Structure 1
Amino acid sequence: MFALSRLLPLSLLALTLACQKAAAPAAPAVTPPTTTTFTNPLLTAGPDPWVIRRGDVYYYMHTTGNSLAIRKTAKMSDLGSSVSTVVWTPQLAGVNQRDIWAPELHFFDGKWYIYYSADPMCCDGHRINVLENASADPTTGTWVDKGRLAVPGQDLWAIDGTVLEQNGKRYLLWSGHEVASSQVQRLYIAEMSNPWTLVGPRVELSHPEYSWEQNGSPAVNEGPEVLKHADKTFIIYSASHCSTDDYALGMLTAPATADPLKPASWSKSALPVFVKNPAAHAYGPGHNSFFQSKDGTEDWILYHANPQSGQGCGDNRSPRMQKFSWNADGTPNFGTPVATGTALPKPAGE
C-alpha cells in the first residue's frame, strides 16, 4: 500500500502532462474587419446640419425645434453612434422662445458661441440670438445668453446667422426681411464689433431673382455659409422655399481681400450649384455646411435632403455628406447628391 500510494500521484501527474500536450492550441484572437466605407444618411433626421472641427474633434448641431444639442465625434462617418448632449433649453434659462432653428457653433477669442434663430413670441417672428461658453468643451460648462443680435434701429425678422471673417474683421451673414410687411427672404451682411454685437448698417447681398430661387412661397434666399479657397470667398446659400422639392444651393463669389460690405464685391451665379436628384432619394438638398477630412486633404459638404418627394420642411430631412472637388477656375464642384445607401469611402484619415 505504501508503494502504491507513492506511485499514484506520479501517475496522475504524468496523465495530466500528457493531456496538456495533446490539447488543441488556443484559437487566435479575432480582429473585427476594418470598415472603410459609410452610407448616407448619417442620421435618420437632422435639418440644417452644421459641423465645426477643433483639434481632433468634430462638433455637430442641427435643428431640433425646442432645444440646442451638440454631438461630438472623432470621425464624421461615426456621427450616427455619437452621443447627443442637450446644452441649452430656453425654458430652463428663463427665455421665452419657440421654434429654435439652424444652430451654429463657432469658436472666437478663446470662447464658444452658438448662433441660433428663434421666435420670441413677440415682435413679428424670428430673431437671431447668441450664447457664450468659456469651457474648452462646448458640451460642458455654462452657456450664457448674450441676447438678440440685430442691427441698431432695424430689429426685423431674421434667421440663419453665420459669421464671415475677412480682412481682420468679422461680419454676420443672415436671411431677413427688407421691411416688416415683406415675406421675401434676402441675404444681408453687417459688421460685428464683438461676437454678439452688430454695428451696422446692414447691406443686402442677394435676393430671389432667378426662377430657380422662386419656387414655393415666399421666395427665399437663406442659410448662407462661408467657403474659402485660394484667393476667393464664396457664400453658398439655399434658394426657393423648403416646402418644395426644388430647394437648392446658389453661390456668391468675391475676392478673398475684397470689402464684403460692398455689393459690387460679389458676383452671383446665374445657375444653382447643387440641386435635387430624385434617383438618389435626394429632394430639396440644401442648408449645408463644410468641413475638411481628418488629414486635411479633402473637402466635404454636409447638407440635408428629403428621401421622398413632397416631404417639405419637416424632420424627414436627413443629414448627408459627400466629398467635393474644385473646378479649374477655382470654384467648387459639388456634383450631384449621392444616393442613400451607397457605400462611400470614409473621409481620408478616418
Structure 2
Amino acid sequence: MLKLLLTSLLATVAWCQNNTNSTTFTNPILDAENADPWVIRHDDWYYLILSDYDKISLSRSRVLTNWNDAESKLLFQAPPGLNYSTDIWAPEVHNLNGAWYIIFTADPRADSPPPEVDMWCEYSCPAVHHRMYVLEGHGTSPWTTNFTYKSQLDTYDQFAIDGTYFQHSSGLYHIYSCWYRQYDAWPANLCITKLENPWTVSSPFSERQIISVPSLPWEKTPYGRASNDRLSSNEGPEQLTNPTTGQQFVIFSAARSDNRNYCLAMLELVGTNPLNPADWRKHQYPVFYQNPEEQAYGVGHASFVKSPDGTEDWIVYHGMKDPLNGWSARTIRTQKFTWNEDGTPNFPKPGYGPYTVPSGQA
C-alpha cells in the first residue's frame, strides 16, 4: 500500500510540474522523441512545427512549457516520386510580406544516393541530394492557412540543409548549411545568398558567400579532430536580434547532431553587408553546450520566442539525456535566457529544472 501511495504521489508531482496551471515546469516539454524545434508566437498562441520523414505537422498551445496535449494538424504531405518526397528536415514557418512561408529541407530518395553519385565524394555523402524548398499560404494564422508547394530555393544544385530566412534592412537573405563543392561531403559550412522574394534567390553562384566554417576544435567531431574535416559541421542557423540594441546574431549548431558535443555557436553582424564575410564576427567559444552534471548532452538547433507578456526571451532547443543513442535520444526543451552588457545573448546551462514558467503564462 505504501509503495502504491508513493507511486501515486510521484505521478501527481510530475503532472503538476508540467500542468498549465503550475508555476514551474520540467524539461523536456514534449515527451516524444523529436528534434529541430521551431516555435513562434502569434495571436496568443505558440506554434511548434515539426517534420516526420515525408510530412510536416503543426501544433499549437497556449503555453510554451507543455506540448504533450497540444492540438496538432498535418500541414503538408509530400507526394511520392519528387525531389522533395523524403527525409524532410527542420521546417520553419515565417510571416513575410503578409503571407506565410514554410522553408524546409528534403531529399528525393530517402537519403540514399546511387553508387554512381556517391563515388564522387571523398567521404560517404548520403545527404548529397538534400535541397531547400518553400511552401506558401495566405491566412490570418499558420493554423488556418492552407499551404501549397511554391518552389525549390536555388542552392546551385548543391547540398543544402537547415535553411532559414535572415531579415535585414538591406533585404531578405537565405542562410543555410552548405559544402564548398557539389561532392565535398564535409565539412558543412554556413552559406548566405540574397533573395528577391521568399522563394527566389537573386544572388548568382559567384556571389554566394561562406560566412562560417567549422575550424575551431569544438566544431569538429571527434572534438579537436586534426586529420580531416569529416563530421565537422556548421548547421541549423537561426536569426536572433537583441530587442534593445538591435544587434543581429546568427545562432547556429556546431559539431554533429547525434553526438554529445553538439552545441550552439554565434556569429554577430558587425558590419552593414550580410554578404560580406568580413562583416561577420564569430564567437570563439560555444555559447550553449552540454552540461554533464545534469546529463544534458547534444544541445542544439534552437529557435527563440518571447514569454506571453513579451518581457522575457526563451530558447527552445533539442538535447539528449543518453548520448549513446544518437538521434533517437533527442527531445525538445526550453529555458529562459537574458542579455549581457555588451548586447550578446546570455544562455543558461542546459538542464531539466524545475524552472519558473514564462512570465504571463497562465
**Common fold: TM-score over 0.5:** yes
Matched with 1:137 is 141
For 1:231 and 1:109, the matched residues in 2 are separated by 21
Q: Which runs of no fewer than 5 residues in structure 2 stay unpaired?
A: 1-18, 118-127, 223-229
Q: How far is 1:92 from its partner?
A: 7.1
Tell me if 1:290 matches 2:304.
yes
Q: What letter is aligned with 2:258?
A: S
Cross-structure match for 1:14: none
Q: In 2, are the aligned partners of 1:208 and 1:214 still within 8 Å (CA)?
A: yes
Q: Does structure 1 retain, via aligned residues, the 8 Å contact 2:254–2:265?
A: yes
Once the two structures are TM-superposed, the CA of residue 93 in structure 1 deviates from its matched residue by: 10
Residues 20-50 of structure 1 show CA distances to partners (whole Å, capped at 9, x for unaligned) of: xxxxxxxxxxxx9941111110112220000
Aligned residue among 334, 337, 359 for 1:348: 359
Counterpart amino acid of 2:22?
T
Per-residue CA deviation, residues 164-198 of structure 1 (Å, 9 max, x unaligned), is 11114111110011111212111011111011011
How far is the alpha carbon of 1:310 from its aligned partner? 1.6
Distance 1:54 1:93, change over 3 A: farther
- The answer to whether the aligner puts 1:49 opposite 2:37 as a matched pair is yes
Question: Cα offset for 1:64?
Answer: 2.2
Give the aligned partner of residue 317 of structure 2.
303
Q: Is the 8 A contact 2:30 2:66 kept in 1?
A: no
Contact kept, 8 Å, 1:134 with 1:141, in 2: the verdict is yes
Cα distance in 1 for residues equivalent to 2:49 and 2:29: 13
Q: What amino acid is the match of 2:40? A: I
The two structures have a TM-score, normalised by structure 1, of: 0.85
The CA distance in 2 between the partners of 1:141 and 1:181, in whole Å, is 38
Whether the aligned pair in 2 keeps the contact of 1:49 and 1:63 (CA below 8 Å) is no
1:36 equivalent to 2:47? Answer no
Aligned residue number for residue 209 of structure 1: 215
1:13 maps to none
Q: What TM-score does the superposition give when structure 2 sets the normalisation length?
A: 0.82
Partner of residue 46, structure 2: 58
Root-mean-square deviation (CA, aligned residues, Å) is 2.0
Give the secondary structure class of the aligned counterpart of 1:311.
Answer: helix
1:16 is aligned to none
The one-letter code sitting in structure 2 at the alignment partner of 1:143 is: F
Q: 1:276 to 1:63 in 2, by over 3 A?
A: farther
CA offset digits 1:276-318 (Å, max 9, x no partner): 112222111000000011111101111000111222223x211
- Distance (Å, rounded) in 2 between the aligned partners of 1:51 and 1:241: 22
Decide whether aligned partners of structure 1 residues 263 and 343 sit closer, same or farther in structure 2, where only a CA change above 3 A counts. Answer: same
Cα 1:111–1:93, aligned 2, differ >3 Å: closer, same or farther? Answer: farther
Amino acid aligned to 2:354: A
Is 1:264 the equivalent of 2:299?
A: no
- SS of aligned partner of 2:65: helix
CA contact (8 A) 2:189 2:213 kept: yes
1:107 is aligned to 95
Q: What are the ranges of 5 or more consecutive residues in structure 1 without an aligned counterpart?
A: 1-31
What is the distance in 2 between the residues matched to 1:168 and 1:179? 28
Cα 1:265/1:75, change in 2 over 3 Å = same
Distance 1:34 1:220, change over 3 A: closer
Secondary structure in structure 2 of the residue aligned to 1:75: coil
State the alpha-carbon separation in 2 of the partners of residues 334 and 322 from structure 1.
9
Measure, in 2, the Cα distance between the counterparts of 1:336 and 1:96: 37
Question: What CA distance in whole angstroms lies between the structure 2 residues aligned with 1:268 and 1:145?
Answer: 35
Q: How many Å separate the matches in 2 of 1:276 and 1:139?
A: 34
Q: In the alignment, what sits opposite 1:78?
A: 66
Higher alpha-carbon deviation: 171-180 or 72-81: 72-81
Partner of 1:333: 346
Q: Which residue of 1 aligns with 2:254?
A: 239
Larger Cα-atom Rg: 1
Measure, in 2, the Cα distance between the counterparts of 1:61 and 1:345. Answer: 24
Aligned residue for 1:187?
190
CA distance in 1, matches of 2:21, 2:104: 38
Q: Could you tell me which amino acid in structure 2 is paired with residue 208 of structure 1?
A: P
How far did residue 97 of structure 1 move? 1.4
Equivalent of residue 129 in structure 2, options 122, 125, 131? 125
Equivalent position amino acid for 1:296 in 2: G
Find the aligned partners of 1:246 and 1:310 in 2 and give their Cα distance.
12
Paired AA for residue 254 in structure 2: A
Equivalent pair of 1:290/1:300 in contact (CA under 8 Å): yes
Query: Structure 1 vs Structure 2: percent identity of aligned residues?
Result: 38
Q: CA deviation at 1:95?
A: 6.5
Distance 2:274 2:20 in 1: 49
Q: Give the letter aligned to residue 276 of structure 1.
A: Q
